[in-house]
Structure 1
């Protein structure tokens, strides 16, 4: 299992809306995440900096990354774009983090 951690950025004032949208995650998006191998997925918010910290585990990173080519993922990105920092294709601005320590 490979662990993936990244940072994303929420726009100020949208903390509650971000949480609400994830509390109401579309079933199709949840299914796509699972089909692409995402497990143990959590997102945390640091309120002062508006930084989101995402953590998930995948069996195969390439399989997981293929989710970005699905219609449902692109629809989700567009839905989330008004409340997050995004790229031109509506994907979230994301910085992958390097693991420097792990205690099992």
Structure 2
């Protein structure tokens, strides 16, 4: 039986890190500024991960209850501006957008938990009398 709490929005995005800056990008993300970590959490993003391929393809994932509100909160939060300004040069083709705002989002086409929950919601066979 599924719960009555709405499922969080799952957001996946991609960016391209300049291949000659991969080491530095990885090093910077090994210890993100505490104020930036708190700003992300305060905006309502959780279960946030970044995955980096050797050619610089970066895939990010997070969950939130309201991504538009989280984006507005981060855009307005002064703690994020300095971090985003420092990170922008690492990325290819953002056309002046901040990385947190210029990343194309990917469409989710499968989620195991959602499909299992849908099976649980289906009526089962009627037992014999």
Same fold (TM > 0.5): yes
Match in the other structure for 2:48: 41
Tell me how far 1:63 sits from its aligned partner: 2.1
Tell me which stretches of 4 or more aligned residues in structure 1 moved more than 2 Å.
none
- Counterparts of 1:69 and 1:12, CA distance in 2: 30
Tell me how far 1:81 sits from its aligned partner: 1.9
TM-score normalized by the length of structure 2: 0.73
More helix by share: 2
State the Cα deviation string for residues 18-51 of structure 1 (Å, max 9, x = none): 1111112011100100000111000001213x21
Alignment match of 2:60 (pick from 50, 54, 64): 54
Residue 88 (str. 1) matches residue 88 (str. 2): no
More strand by share: 1
Alignment match of 1:22 (pick from 17, 21, 29): 29
TM-score normalized by the length of structure 1: 0.89
Structure showing greater radius of gyration is 2
Higher RCO structure (Cα 8 Å, ≥6 apart): 1
Q: Secondary structure at the match of 1:14?
A: helix
Q: Secondary structure at the match of 2:19?
A: coil
Uncovered stretches (5+) of structure 1, i.e. residues with no partner: none
- Counterparts of 1:61 and 1:87, CA distance in 2: 22
Q: How many residues align?
A: 102
